[in-house]
Amino acid sequence: MKFPKFEDLILFENDNLIVVNKPAFLSSLDDREGGDNNLLRMAKHYSDDAQICHRLDRETSGVLIIAKNPETYRHVSMQFEHRKVNKVYHAVINGTHAFEELHVDLPILNLGAKNVAINKQEGKPAETVFNSIKFYKHYTLVECKPITGRMHQIRIHLASQRANIAGDEMYGGKTVYLSEIKRGYRIGKDQEELPIMKRFALHARCITFKIDEFTEMTFEAPYPKDFATLIKLLDKFDS
């Protein structure tokens, strides 16, 4: 898969760090299998000592922090450790759900091989706050604010509320097809309809943290083309 140049992903840069808008289907770090390109390799080609400060799932797009030196990496990592970094994600979920400061506090157990489960006995603490942004006939655009940073946290917490992310088959989400929302839509006899998005509809929208000891900043990542198209079609045919 072809990705944009690293320079084209940059939302902000100074002497110590880079904030990028990660494309979907680009891994944050090296996968065990190796071989494929990833954001860390791209960053190191751009800046030798680059380190990824946190990670996003491969299919998740959005804002991500990269440190250019060990001091900045420590500075940002400590903010994550002490929960001083505020992250906001946007997700399109199946069904109509009116969430108003819904606080989901369900421990998550990492089962290995990129699988997790809700487990109140053995899981690690995991908290997310959800707010509905926009309602459609069959979907809802939701703001997700993770307080902790467990693997698949937003995805499994939404699934626990029967509010699965559209296209997230691992957690029971149904893929969005135009034929399901556009009245009178017909596909050719021998054609196979493709989904509007070829991934689950989750985007890391913005992040707020201290770029140095004194300066707090917020960075917002615009929706990528596939997410923006989904919202546009829902606005047109499912509102």
Question: Any idea which residues carry the catalytic annotation?
Answer: 57
- In 3D space, the residue among 32, 195, 179, 216 whose CA is nearest the CA of residue 114 turns out to be 32
The secondary structure of residue 139, as a DSSP letter, is E
- In 3D space, the residue among 227, 172, 208, 235 whose CA is nearest the CA of residue 80 turns out to be 208
What are 53-58's contacts with CB under 8 Å, separation 24+?
Answer: 53/77, 53/80, 54/80, 54/85, 54/149, 55/28, 55/29, 56/22, 56/28, 56/204, 57/152, 57/155, 57/202, 58/24, 58/25, 58/26, 58/27, 58/28
- In 3D space, the residue among 35, 43, 17, 46 whose CA is nearest the CA of residue 210 turns out to be 17
